[in-house]
């Protein structure tokens, strides 16, 4: 199968095909030049698409997803030569934007102001919001722009300064652990537990295209999920099937779901 046929088979749409083509080009450049090659920041869904390509190419080593800290949602994909074990330290930079009024800005406010500077989303990693400051992870060129030109978000004045990556402290994510039983590990059954929905409402959300499994769209309520799967429901967030336990005497399955609040 040639490159074009492979991309056609793996991509669900034109956007995915462009992404896969860029990732494949980076992989080939690294192998040809024996130098590190990295993408911009990828969303979790884009990372899943890229991983699909790597699996198809049987690439099991020589690459790393990196977003600046363990648990980052938006991450770059780096292809590494044999002499390099990890991405360069300055692959991800951090800019801290401080402001006077407590809880004055939301993630949306900050992202809007960053887009107004002409930055593209792939140049920006996670945006970590605290009561009096926000830490923005970015590529080196984007970080330099933020330090020189990012002075406000709406009516809120900002003071920006570089922050060493080692000093970054991501906020603790709030989660809720839910234990229940289900008749089977169907997607709609687990989704109903994770988001406290009736099974019919969960099935409707799936068929209407509001649900992703491991960041990939899925519209069949009877899909079987497995331990570790990440389920996202548009408007309500995400949950993870943390544990699949034994069956009850009536044949139901014990499960533990972690809901992100």
pLDDT digits (tens, 9 = 90+) for 207-231: 999 999 998 888 999 999 999 999 9
What pTM value is reported for the model? 0.87
Q: Is the pLDDT of residue 36 over 90?
A: yes
DSSP single-letter state for residue 199: H
> Is 163's pLDDT higher than 80?
yes
115 alpha carbon, distance to own chain's centre: 19
At 57 the pLDDT is: 94
Question: Mean pLDDT for the chain?
Answer: 95
The confidence score (pLDDT) of residue 7 equals 87
From residue 166, give the alpha-carbon distance in Å to each of 42, 99, 146, 171, 213.
22, 22, 20, 15, 33
- Tell me what pLDDT residue 17 has: 94
pLDDT band at 238 (very low <50, low <70, confident <90, very high): very high
Shortest CA distance to 41 belongs to which of 105, 113, 159, 121? 121
Q: Give the pLDDT of residue 182.
A: 96
Per-residue pLDDT for 1 more than 80?
no
Residue from 131, 81, 75 nearest 105 by CA: 131
Phi, psi dihedrals of residue 248, rounded to the nearest 5°? -80, 175
Distance CA 127, CA 72 (A): 10
Residue 57 vs residues 51, 63, 126, 188, 254: alpha-carbon distances, Å: 10, 13, 29, 32, 37
Measured between alpha carbons, how far is 67 from 236 in angstroms, rounded to an integer? Answer: 24
């Amino acid at each position: 199968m040639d490159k074009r046929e492979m991309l056609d088979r793996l991509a669900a749409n034109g956007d995915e095909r462009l992404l896969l083509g860029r990732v494949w080009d980076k992989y080939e450049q690294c192998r040809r030049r024996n130098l590190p090659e990295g993408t911009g920041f990828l969303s979790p869904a884009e990372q899943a698409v890229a991983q699909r390509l790597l699996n198809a190419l049987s690439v099991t080593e020589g690459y790393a997803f990196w977003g600046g800290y363990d648990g980052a949602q938006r991450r770059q994909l780096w292809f590494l030569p044999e002499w390099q074990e990890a991405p360069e330290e300055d692959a991800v930079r951090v800019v801290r934007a401080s402001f006077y009024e407590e809880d004055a800005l939301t993630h949306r406010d900050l992202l809007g102001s960053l887009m107004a500077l002409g930055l593209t989303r792939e140049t920006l990693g996670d945006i970590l919001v605290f009561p009096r400051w926000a830490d923005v992870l970015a590529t080196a060129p984007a970080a330099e722009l933020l330090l020189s030109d990012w002075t406000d978000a709406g009516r809120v004045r900002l003071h920006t300064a570089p922050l060493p990556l080692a000093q970054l402290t991501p906020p603790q994510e709030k989660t809720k652990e839910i234990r229940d039983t289900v008749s089977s590990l169907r997607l709609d059954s687990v989704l109903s537990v994770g988001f406290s929905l009736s099974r019919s409402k969960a099935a409707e959300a799936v068929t209407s295209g509001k649900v992703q499994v491991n960041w990939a769209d899925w519209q069949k309520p009877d899909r079987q999920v497995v331990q570790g799967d990440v389920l996202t429901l548009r408007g309500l967030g995400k949950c993870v099937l943390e544990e699949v336990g034994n069956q009850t005497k009536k044949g139901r399955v014990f499960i533990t779901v972690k809901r992100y609040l």
